[in-house]
Amino acid sequence: MKKITNNFEKLFLIFLYLQPILDVTAGVLLHFNYSVTISSIIRFIFMFLCIIYLVFFIKDKKINIYLLILFIYFICFGTTMLITKDFNALIYECKNLISTYYFVILLLTLIKVYKDKKLKVKNLFLIYVIYLLFVFIPNIFNIGFQSYWHSKEGSVGWFLSANVVGSILSILLPILLIYIKKISIPIIILLLINLYVILSIGTKVPVLSFIIIFIVNFVYYIISLIKKKDYKKLKIIIAPIIILIITSLFIFPKTSFYKNLVIHITYLEEKDNGKIPITEFIDHFIFSQRLTFEEKTRKAYNKSSTLEKTFGIGYIENYDTEKERDKTIEIDYFDVFYRHGIVGFIIFFIPIIYLLKKITKTFKNLNFVKLNLLLSVILIFLLAFFQGHIFVTPANSIYVALILALIYNNAFEFKNEPK
């Protein structure tokens, strides 16, 4: 155990490279109806090692107090579930409890791991490529899993969830742009594969994230050239951009992403006789009915006891009734609040607020590096609202915790990398 904790940085790096493998394993096993996945077990073991590392080797007083408060909350949450539901529901509730608070444990750990050390961005680049290939290769050979069970189109490769993969690709891309400092044939091929993957998955998030990242960086580059009065380069880049826009107009309508937009709008028009109310358009098209789910959960929360309002209603609403449902809202802020109550919400977001206080100071005097790090952070908080599963799903929250911890400690290493 002592050897493990003394080499925790190396252990985490191994764990980080395992992530796409674990996600593919989970996708394949669950695709063939195996409910228990090895990925969940490995991630739980790593979380347990993180707790041991923090308590017995880091011995930070503030962190230990936080962990004690968190442990007390876990007991209160479990007790609340036993009182308001029963033992049969407790296992399901505790499983989701651990999945949600996995993020905060990992965040505190990585803050300490990378306090005096740095992570080479090349590692994130390679992991990103692995994710791309696990989608690209199955999709090319038409052996990938469908992104949706019915109606819509798209394939997610060998992964289980299109939203999870799309989110990971979205929040890592701005950081990888800092690594890619020189355009070459391999990089162009990789960018084309990236475009193919995000368009073939069929979900909105990776495509919109890519567009935002591209536009922000393009505008920043144009402004930089104007400030330098480098009008020659400015003229040179206009032609490729025009070609890219024209090409995309022909390719875009053939993608799963575009087809799904058409399918969605057509469904809403048929449902509402051609006149889509603005509220329904926002709920269905932008939020994929998350606002409807929020309303239902809010009603369940408002009807709950004071105990549940304080410690959470859990993940099974209206337990043991005809209206029983376990569908989450998929807006992380609301899910944490309703599922874990006022106390659980405060405990969850304290470390994030603490980090943001320092992180926001690092974005003064924006340059190319800071701009893309800021883009990654903004996307994290936007996706947590519009898509969910960013903070509360371990497959995603691992990268969120890593990005925030590295920015907090200024621990990204871009040295000795291509210029």
Q: Quick one: three-class SS letters along 324-379?
A: CECCCCCCHHHHHHHHHHHHHHHHHHHHHHHHHHHHHHHHCCCCHHHHHHHHHHHH
Residue 2 has pLDDT above 80, yes or no: no
Question: Which residues, other chains included, contact 28 with Cβ-Cβ below 8 Å and sequence gap of 6+?
Answer: 158
Residue 318 placed within a domain: yes
Closest CA to 311 of 346, 342, 333: 342
pLDDT for the residue 284: 83
Q: Which residues, including other chains, have CB under 8 Å from residue 136's CB and lie 6 or more apart? A: 157, 193, 196, 197
Ordered DSSP codes for 97-166: HHHHHHHHHHHHHHHHHTSS--EEHHHHHHHHHHHHHHHHHHHHTT-SPBSSSSSS--B-TT-S-HHHHH
Task: Report the distance separating Cα 339 and Cα 327, nearest Å.
Answer: 11
In a domain, 192, yes or no: yes
- 116 falls within a domain: yes
Q: What predicted TM-score, i.e. pTM, was given to this entire model?
A: 0.92
| Residue 10 within a domain | yes
Q: Could you tell me the residue range of the domain that residue 42 belongs to?
A: 2-413
Amino acid identity of residue 241, one-letter, is I
- pLDDT tens for residues 21-59? 999 998 988 877 776 678 899 999 999 999 999 998 888
Asked whether residue 165 is domain-assigned, the answer is yes
Report whether pLDDT(418) > 50: no
The SS3 of residue 259 is helix
Question: What's residue 278's pLDDT?
Answer: 85
Please say if the pLDDT value at position 181 is more than 70: yes
359-363's contacts with Cβ under 8 Å and 24+ in sequence apart are: 359/404, 359/407, 359/408, 362/407, 362/410
pLDDT tens digits for range 320-350: 888 888 899 999 999 999 999 999 999 999 9
Q: How high is the mean pLDDT of the chain?
A: 89
Reduced to 3 states (helix: H, G, I; strand: E, B; else coil), residue 413 is strand
Q: Total structural domains in the chain?
A: 1
Tell me if 78 sits within 8 A of 95, measured CB to CB: no
Which band of pLDDT confidence, cut at 50, 70 and 90, is reported for residue 229? Answer: confident
Domain assignment of residue 418, yes or no: no
Does residue 419 fall inside a structural domain? no
Rounded (10°) CA dihedral 20, 90, 78, 33: 0
- Which residue reads 């919400």 in tokens? 345
Q: Is residue 78 part of a domain?
A: yes
